[in-house]
Structure 1
Amino acid sequence: MPPSRPTVLLTGATGVIGAGLLPALADRYEVVCLVHRRRPEGAIDCVPADLTAEDLGLSGRQRRDLAARVDVVVHSAALTAFAPPDLTAFDDINAEGTRRILRLAENAGVPVVLLSSAAAVFEAAGDDLTARSMRAYSHSKRRAEELAAQSGLPVAVVRPALLFAARSATAVPQHQFPHALFTAMLQGRTGGLPIDADHWCDILPMETLVDYVVALTEAQLRGDVGAPGIHWATAGPARLTAGDMERACLALLEELGRPAAGQLLSAPDPARPRTHGMARLAQLGFQPPTRPALPTDLRRLLPAQPTRGEVLEALAHNVRRCAGLPAELAAQPSGS
């Protein structure tokens, strides 16, 4: 008997975003996961595949079976490493992998929700490895969006900002920029990071992104004419500054009984340009106050845009998790 609910084909279910999307989508739809190495926790129906292989490494019969079963594709698989050994891996996975997913969707005649990145529209300056890696990532996401536009399919492209870990996550993604930054700041090294306190970085609570993608998936299934196209999923005017992050880390260090000897940030020194490490990554990841906030489209499908208070609460929770506090203690920010 065929399933009574629509079927979503989900990629990247073991990734930071996909791990949040899987249970949220499974609450409403049948979900088939394309998996590479690991079976996602909670997944029921999995199909082994490879984004770097032609036809995703699937046999003709497997492709026909998927085409007959699925009603929409949610493509969240991507390479997001800081600096992989081979920078061409970004294009192989993020762009060419998207091309193969789009071909599968075309064969199935179904719409697509494509998780891209706000980085698709930015260009990191510099010739150091960190800058070149960020450019390679940005270019791969931009090319994936171009392939989606050329496909002729109804593709909804989501450009998320950086993301806080979900409150339900068993562990924070230490390899992701925000959490690597918080971990570095929690070392309490005075003036350790050369970032201006008024420079900003857009970080969105994971739960907000998941809610938006689920709502967008529903809109694609309904055939809403406004669903295809670009969707910015950002904190927008609720963006955080480096000073906000510094204060959250200083407050927790004080609470834990190991206060920092001074401020954690220092003004960048033009005479000592940074070319690698967290300092360089942070300098590229933060924007000056003269640059306007990122656009946001969350109100298109959600009842409200996250407030600054909600984003600060997510910051406090994530900082506490980066300090190694268990989830139940991390849920009690300083002063509670």
Structure 2
Amino acid sequence: MKPLARTFLVLAMLSGSLAQAQSIAQIDLSPAQTGRIHAQPDPAAIQALPADFRFVTPGTLTVAISAAVPPASTYATDARTVVGADADHAHQMAEALGLKLDLVTVAWPDWPLGLASGKYDAVISNVGVTEERKLKFDFSTYRLGLHGFFVRKDSPIQSIKEPQDIAGLKIITAVGTIQERILLEWNRINLAAGLKPAQLLYFDDLVAAKLALESGRADAHFNPYGPLAYLAAREGRTRAVGTVNAGWPLKADVAVATRKGSGLAAAFTVATNTLIRNGKYAQTLARWGIAEEALPRAETNPPGLPKF
């Protein structure tokens, strides 16, 4: 999907509380980002930094990010500046550690090699915690890994939260993904219970998937929550009816990735928990319309998605 290069009016945070659903906020895609929530230097986080850690550039936190899909990350209206919830978190981590920020854009598949080779200090780019990744990297969580079910605004479907809810439905998803694995497992459970399986419709293109849902060729769309919530808020043609953790039946949260044993993860966890306590964390997620993805607390190297 091409980067969005304009400011969108968010009509409602459709999957939150009634107060959220009635709220009106404006997604700011300007390069200035005057509404960004800033962090203050955090003495506890600074103290958690390893004394012998060498940053790529002294006095600067170099963070890799993929300007891929809003609201996590995209390009601003100048087509150069990266903005979004992940970009905000990168700025806040640098501010909390008393450092400048160098935000480096990378292709998402390239981050593991670049991080391991020391091109950047951290990766903040919607990276989920998995047990396989933990063998090479450390993680500090900062967002729930959520996938969402979205339906047409006029759909009779009100809730999809468990396997029986998808029985007999036509559901859009992406092949070879975590979300496909969840749906296939739910189909297995339903078949064992004597229920009809869902028919999975595979789309790689978000625009084509959107048209299929809105035209009635599909009953629901199940993919990562953030982009679909952003699209629903921007266009007002769809609504959320349920969320599932990416690690279902376990959990797999989104985290800052750092080199294994570097010690940076602990500092990021301290800084994020400070932001959670003082409310700036919640304000940042709400600013991008993804309050549903808030964590109660950040963790260092929690259990991640097992290898299937």
TM-score with structure 1 length normalisation? 0.30
- Greater share of residues in strand: 2
- Greater share of residues in helix: 1
Q: Which has the higher contact order (CA 8 A, sep 6+)?
A: 2
- Larger-Rg structure: 1
